[in-house]
Each structure stands twice: as C-alpha cells, then as structure tokens.
Amino acid sequence: MHNAIDVVMLVVTETRAFAKNVSDAPLAIVNKRRHGHNVAEVMNLIVDVKGKVAVMVDDMIDTAGTIAKGADLLHREGGREVYACSTHAVSPPAIERLSSGLFQEVIITNTIPVSEKNYLPQLTVLSVANLLVESIWRVHDDYPVSIVLHLYAFSRVVKMGTTL
C-alpha cells in the first residue's frame, strides 16, 4: 500500500505521525507562504506524486484556501486522487472549496457541527464520542491518553486504505 500513497504535509508534526501509521508512507511537502491571516500562497511541491494517491493532513480547515490550492497543485503534478483529513472545517468558504471536485474524500470530525446544507457527497464526518469516552476513562484511571489518538487516526487510515 505505501508505494501508492503519499502523505502531504501542511502541518509537519501531525503529518509525520500520520504517515508513520500508513506503513511509513513517503511524505510530500506543499511549500506555502502566508501573507496574512487566511491568505496563503502555495509555492511548489517537494516530492513526485505522479500516479499516486495523496492524503493531505491539516489540523483545521478554516477557509480551505491553502488545502484547496495544495490539492490543485497535486492534481497538476499528476496525483491520481487527493484525500483531505482535518479536525474540522469551519466556514462557508471552506465547504465551497472542499466541494470543488479536487478531493476524492474529505474526512473531518464532529467537533464542530456541520449543518445539513453544508454536507457534500465526498464529506465523511467521524464522531469523536468514543475518543472522548476512552480519553476520560484513561485520565480517570491514570493511563496514557496519547495511544488513543494514534489508534483513532490509524483505524481510519486502515479503513481508507482498503478503498484505495
């Protein structure tokens, strides 16, 4: 599986851990420059993605400007499919950009409710309920919580990997 997938970095620390859980998938880096709040310019792509599936990971999609520009670049560089993963998508411009056809699937959590009118066919919203229950239990019983986050992310990657 790892020869077919590149994990694309927008936030380096989160993506490095995510890539490790996908059979040590190679990392591709979208070089971006911020000119102000919610204003990013995608400069170039580091690593060849031709014919590969790209999984873009970002901590939060506010307006989706950066992730949409990155996905456009990945397609122009020959990427076969682009998936986006994030904690949540926030604003109406984000939903519009995410539904532009650049993404095979957009995976977010329900940490911020998504209204019915903002659902798009390729949107997958994962519940964090089990994650919260397990985390509370672990804190209460003095067990580490970090493993819960890794297992949660890995279980979704495994499910997604079976469809690639």
Residue type, 163: T
Q: Residue 89 has what DSSP assignment?
A: B
The sheet carrying 39-46 orders its strands as 39-46, 27-36, 5-9, 53-57, 81-85, 105-109, 123-126
Q: Estimate the share of the chain in helix, then strand, then coil, as percent rounded to the nearest 5.
A: 35, 25, 35
Residue 12 is predicted with a pLDDT of: 44
CB atoms within 10 A of CB 83: 23
Could you tell me the maximum CA-CA distance found in the chain, to the nearest angstrom?
50
Residue 32 is predicted with a pLDDT of: 63
Q: How many CA atoms lie within 13 A of 105 on its CB side?
A: 16
Contact 11, 58 (CB under 8 A): yes
Residue 102 is predicted with a pLDDT of: 94
Q: How far apart are CA 61 and CA 93, in angstroms?
A: 10
Q: How many CA atoms lie within 13 A of 34 on its CB side?
A: 6
Q: Residue 61 has what DSSP assignment?
A: B
The dotted CATH code for 5-127 is: 3.40.50.2020
Vertex 132 angle, CA 63 and 87, to 5°: 15
Domain ranges across the chain: 5-127
Residue 136 is predicted with a pLDDT of: 92
Q: What are the 10-residue block averages of pLDDT along the chain, 164 residues in total? A: 51 53 63 62 72 83 86 90 84 83 91 84 88 89 78 57 47
CB atoms within 10 A of CB 125: 16
pTM of the model: 0.73
Tell me which residue has tokens 């690593």: 47
